[in-house]
């Protein structure tokens, strides 16, 4: 596996990951907060490219905040000979807080979120403030399953807004489905979906096998890209 990304992009990624690791190490030392989590997943995509995904979550920050985010490193599509050369990236981080953390009933699920996205450099960055609503699905394997509905009415690049849902559905103790569906409401073009459901097979406390379906109408609108693919991989949990 080779990372072939220019210096400015590497600096952006390094600062993002360093911030996450510093917060992780600070939180992990000598307190009763929920521990930070780091997941590493390597995928082989049916469109002849690979992805390295680094996911971090900080679930118990001061004042009720939490952070969840990831960095995807991709190689170029339809280039099997160079599928291990990771030349593209996408960053997404979400700073979140419940609006009514001490409430009971439906009000408890309401939250505020600030999402940061970066696609291959500072010219493609966007921040989305918005609201979330998370609720359990006790009918699916107890209280481990949930949906979170999200609405971001404003984007700093002025392109439109976004409605989305993320979910975690435990089918058994070892098999669960996770993923998201984003509907990007564009002001100057057609609305576009980005959808990624994933099934996870838990091997043990450290490793999962994953199978993911990927559909991206933004990529599909680019004649040089294919917006649909299937990717399988291995997830490592730290």
Q: pLDDT averaged over the chain? A: 88
Cβ distance 23 to 57 under 8 Å? Answer: no
The yes-or-no verdict on residue 231 having pLDDT over 90 is: yes
Question: How far apart (Å, rounded) are the C-alpha atoms in residues 89 and 121?
Answer: 9
Question: Is 205 exposed, middle or buried, given 0-12, 13-18 or 19+ CB atoms closer than 10 A?
Answer: exposed
Task: Read off the pLDDT of residues 104-146 as tens digits, 9 standing for 90 and up.
Answer: 888 899 999 999 999 886 678 899 999 999 999 988 877 789 9
Task: Read off the pLDDT of residues 58-95 as tens digits, 9 standing for 90 and up.
Answer: 888 888 999 999 999 999 999 999 999 999 999 999 99
Question: Which 3 state secondary structure label does DSSP give 123?
Answer: helix
Question: How far apart (Å, rounded) are the C-alpha atoms in residues 12 and 8?
Answer: 6
The yes-or-no verdict on residue 31 having pLDDT over 70 is: no
The yes-or-no verdict on residue 32 having pLDDT over 70 is: no
Question: 17: pLDDT confidence band, cut at 50, 70 and 90?
Answer: low
Question: How far apart (Å, rounded) are the C-alpha atoms in residues 145 and 177?
Answer: 9
pLDDT value of position 159: 87
The percentage of residues in the chain with a pLDDT greater than 90, rounded to a whole number, is: 64
Give the number of other Cβ atoms within 10 Å of residue 87's Cβ.
18
For the entire predicted model, the pTM comes to 0.87
Question: How far apart (Å, rounded) are the C-alpha atoms in residues 55 and 73?
Answer: 12
pLDDT value of position 27: 54
| Strand ranges, E, within the chain | 2-3, 37-45, 49-58, 66-74, 85-86, 88-98, 110-119, 125-136, 146-152, 160-170, 175-186, 192-202, 207-216, 228-237
| Alpha carbon distance, N-terminus to C-terminus of the chain | 21
Long-range contacts of 72-77 (CB under 8 A, 24+ apart): 73/3, 73/5, 74/49, 74/50, 75/49, 75/50, 75/51, 76/49, 77/45, 77/47, 77/48, 77/49, 77/224, 77/225, 77/226
Q: What is the CATH number of domain 2-237?
A: 2.40.160.40
The yes-or-no verdict on residue 172 having pLDDT over 80 is: yes
Measure Cα distances from 232 to 50, 176, 181, 211 in Å: 10, 15, 19, 4
């Amino acid at each position: 596996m080779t990372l072939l990304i220019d210096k400015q992009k590497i600096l952006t990624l390094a600062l993002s990951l360093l911030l996450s690791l510093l917060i992780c190490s600070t939180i992990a030392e000598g307190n009763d907060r929920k521990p930070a989590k780091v997941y590493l997943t390597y995928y082989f995509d049916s469109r002849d490219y690979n992805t390295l995904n680094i996911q971090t979550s900080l679930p118990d920050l001061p004042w009720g905040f939490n952070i969840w985010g990831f960095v995807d490193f991709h190689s170029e599509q339809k280039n099997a000979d160079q599928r291990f050369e990771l030349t593209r990236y996408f960053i997404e981080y979400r700073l979140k807080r419940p609006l009514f953390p001490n409430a009971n009933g439906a009000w408890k699920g309401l939250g505020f979120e600030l999402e940061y996205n970066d696609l291959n450099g500072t010219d493609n960055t966007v921040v989305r403030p918005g609201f979330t609503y998370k609720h359990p699905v006790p009918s699916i394997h107890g209280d481990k399953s949930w949906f979170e509905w999200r609405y971001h009415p404003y984007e700093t690049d002025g392109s439109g807004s976004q409605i989305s849902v993320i979910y975690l559905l435990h089918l058994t103790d070892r098999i669960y489905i996770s993923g998201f569906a984003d509907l990007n409401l564009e002001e100057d073009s057609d609305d576009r979906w980005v959808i990624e459901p994933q099934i996870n097979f838990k091997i043990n406390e450290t490793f999962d096998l994953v199978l993911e379906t990927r559909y991206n109408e933004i990529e599909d609108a680019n004649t040089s890209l294919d917006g649909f693919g299937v990717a399988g991989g291995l997830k490592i949990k730290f």
